[in-house]
A and B are shown apart, each in its own frame.
Chain A
Amino acid sequence: MAPRTYRPEALNTSKGLFVLACLLAVVAMAPIAWIVGLSLKDNKALMLGTEAVFALPYTLANYVNLIGSSQVFGWFFNSLVVAVGETVGVLVLSSLAGYAFGRLEFPFRRTLFVLVLFGLAVPEQAVIIARHQMFNWLGWHNTHLGLIVPGLTSAFGVFLMTQFFRAIPKEIDEAALLDNTPPFRLFWRVMLPLTLPAQATLGIFTFLHAWNDYWWPLISATKKEMFTLTVGIASSQTNFAQSEGLGFLSAQAVFASLPVVIVYILFQRHIVTAVSGGAVK
């Protein structure tokens, strides 16, 4: 066989790797497909065995029942308030702190930054008892505020925003200074818009984390009407194989995932930009 010309793009077309990637994708997608399948089955059929998911008929009855259940919508509302509140709060605080650490000069800046980063190393479990007692004393349990506030201090968010603000060329600030820009306007009109990709990434991660959080709402929200979706669905599992059944539970899980999927689809372009940003000038 005559030697073939080397083609750099050939690196991207290894068939073996492609097949492997497809297999991994199937493994990752299988639980999601499984849940969707269960949610479309009659509860009684599932009580006989979950293999029923592979056979007709399918039904939307579980979703119809879901719409009729006011409790799930209450939990959905709680999750939405907590996730949106936490996301907005983290974006505001992390942007301000990141700007200060990344662009401003002030005493003990490095020390304070190291202290903030130390927050990345402290697991939530280590502080949960102290936080529980403090919130009990403040009377914040079973409130939206009590569910939102612990998530606002994001060491990761501050770190991410600091790195982004640092990466903005200093000539931009200097041009703004020569343009007679007041300090807050410099932050708001010039610097902040340049960190939009990072804001989107941080916003999505925070939203997903808050939406999926189970541990703190389980401790703080003890009244059923203050449950978030994660805690609420988990509490429904006590009814397993009774009136609600596995199909209804799966429909709740699919319903709970929808906002996350929507958020991801809407903002995925920004996530990609943020992750690949800086790799190629």
Chain B
Amino acid sequence: MSASIEIRNVTKRYGGLTVLEDISLSIAAGEFVVFLGPSGCGKSTLLRMVAGLEALDGGTIDLGGTRIDTLPPGKRGVAMVFQSYALYPHMTVAQNMGFGLENIGMAREDIARRVTAAADVLEIAHLLDRKPAKLSGGQRQRVAIGRAIVKEPKAFLFDEPLSNLDAALRGRTRLELAQLHARLGSTMIFVTHDQVEAMTLADRIVVMHNRRIEQIGTPMEIYRRPATRFVAGFVGTPAISILGVKAAELGPRGLTVDLGSAGVLQTRLQLPVAVPAAGGLEIGIRPEDVTVVPPGGDGIPARAEVVEHLGERTLVYARLPDGQQITAEADGRSTLRAGTEVKLRLDPDALHLFAADGRAFHVDAGGYDG
């Protein structure tokens, strides 16, 4: 069972401090939506408002067409997995999973049936008689998910559930969550500040910053067509390189930008609206769109300051003659060393242009199917 979620004009204040302002968002039934943003952006608060753990100071929240912000948490039809798992330490795994069902007066056999079924799905059937203290972090995490599953909620809410796991386990659990979503087909909201989790799990990502939603889109839209300079900078590892624009001129073929020591680039950018004068313009380019030219080739001169050999690729953190930093990508077999002079080539079609007010403009998403 899954249901759509409609968040309308939601506002949250703590005293004089507004932490969420006029947030509106529609989530389709069965959709996996990730709230992504830096610490303090309000993403967890918004999730907790859906759960009923925070009161709204304005707006409404509907679940499956029914208004739920007027209901207590237990009556909303949602289940939540906490960052700290929040298992009841004195209860066994089975009791932890069945407690919510006991509270609604479900028959003992039915509880046992649901708990066993969920435990089988999560492969924790052998742990049902143990207490949380006797479980590893990954096992506790599964129990917390199991406690949510047995309730058969209309929507699952995850509040940074993977952040307490080590890197290897996080990767595995991420995959299992994706499989679980595919199997259950439930509506899921997942809060994280980890963009890898967001990119890999989400049907759509909601990027939040500074009390409001910056952008809503599929992972590739967010990555290839960021709506603002903030989104471009927040999503992507290593971060997008931002270069100042000395002068810009819009011609029939598109926008020509003078990047100072990074040269003059002719782009196919056609600006749909008037963009403020060149002084406030910047361009952004992702590392994979900046390549290191083989020796003897033509390109922008730069000095490699740090070189990271990652195996499948090499990252080059370089400095341009005018002092600006740029990150480039080279082949994994590159023998480049820090301190050497390199030549770089920027893909003009992969440029993102940022206006002084933070809005972003793109040439092309550059995506393809298959």
Contact = CB atoms under 8 A, between A and B. Distances in A.
Interface of A: 169, 171-172, 174-182, 185, 189-190, 193-194, 196
B52 A177 contact: yes
A179 B77 CA distance: 10
Contacts of B72: 177
10 contacts: A174-B51, A174-B73, A175-B82, A175-B147, A177-B53, A177-B72, A179-B99, A179-B147, A180-B100, A190-B88
B168 interface: no
Interface of B: 51-53, 72-75, 78-80, 82-84, 86-90, 99-100, 103-104, 147
Contact of A178 (B79, B84, B104): B79
Contacts of A172: 86, 88
A175 B51 CA distance: 10
A194 B91 CA distance: 10
Contacts of B86: 169, 171-172, 174-175
Nearest to A181: B103
A191 to B, nearest CB: 10
Which of B72, B73, B75 is the most central at the interface, judged by chain A CB atoms within 10 Å of its CB?
Answer: B73
Residue with the greatest number of chain B CB neighbours at <10 A, chosen from A169, A171, A178, A180: A178
A185 B86 CA distance: 17
Contacts of B88: 172, 175-176, 190
Contact of B75 (A171, A180, A196): A180
A178 B75 CA distance: 8
A194 B84 CA distance: 17
A274 to B, nearest CB: 16
B73 to A, nearest CB: 4
Given A169-B84, A193-B90, A178 B103 contact: no
B200 to A, nearest CB: 26
B13 to A, nearest CB: 18
B103 A182 contact: yes
Contacts of A171: 82-84, 86
A177 B53 CA distance: 8
Contact of B73 (A177, A189, A190, A196): A177
Contacts of B73: 174, 177-178, 180
A260 to B, nearest CB: 28
Given A175-B87, A178-B73, 8 more contacts: A171-B82, A174-B73, A174-B80, A178-B52, A179-B74, A180-B100, A181-B74, A189-B99
A27 to B, nearest CB: 40
Contacts of A194: 89-90
Nearest to B153: A178
A195 to B, nearest CB: 10
A185 B99 CA distance: 11
Given A169-B84, A171-B82, A174-B53, A180 B74 contact: yes
B102 to A, nearest CB: 9
Contacts of A174: 51, 53, 73, 80, 82, 86
A171 B53 CA distance: 10
Contacts of A176: 88, 99
Contacts of A169: 84, 86
Nearest to A192: B90
Contacts of A179: 74, 99-100, 103, 147
A185 B87 CA distance: 16
B153 to A, nearest CB: 9
B49 to A, nearest CB: 13
A185 B105 CA distance: 13
Contacts of A185: 103
A177 B153 CA distance: 14
Contacts of B82: 171, 174-175
Contacts of B147: 175, 179
A176 B51 CA distance: 12
A177 B72 CA distance: 8
A214 B177 CA distance: 64
A280 B21 CA distance: 41
A178 B99 CA distance: 11
A174 B81 CA distance: 11
Contacts of B52: 177-178
A178 B51 CA distance: 8
A185 B103 CA distance: 9
Contacts of A177: 52-53, 72-74
Nearest to A196: B90
A185 B73 CA distance: 16
B74 A178 contact: yes
A182 B51 CA distance: 17
Closest 6 CB pairs of A and B: A180-B74, A179-B100, A171-B86, A175-B86, A193-B90, A177-B73
Contacts of A196: 90
Contacts of A175: 80, 82, 86-88, 147
A169 B74 CA distance: 19
B51 A180 contact: no
A180 B100 CA distance: 6
A112 B74 CA distance: 31
A184 to B, nearest CB: 12
Nearest to B48: A174
Nearest to B99: A179
A253 B147 CA distance: 55
A217 to B, nearest CB: 37
Nearest to A185: B103
A193 to B, nearest CB: 4
A177 B103 CA distance: 10
Contact of B80 (A178, A181, A182): A178
Nearest to B76: A178
A198 to B, nearest CB: 14
Listed residue (A177, A180, A190, A196) with the most chain B CB atoms within 10 angstroms of its CB:
A180
Contacts of A180: 73-75, 100, 103-104
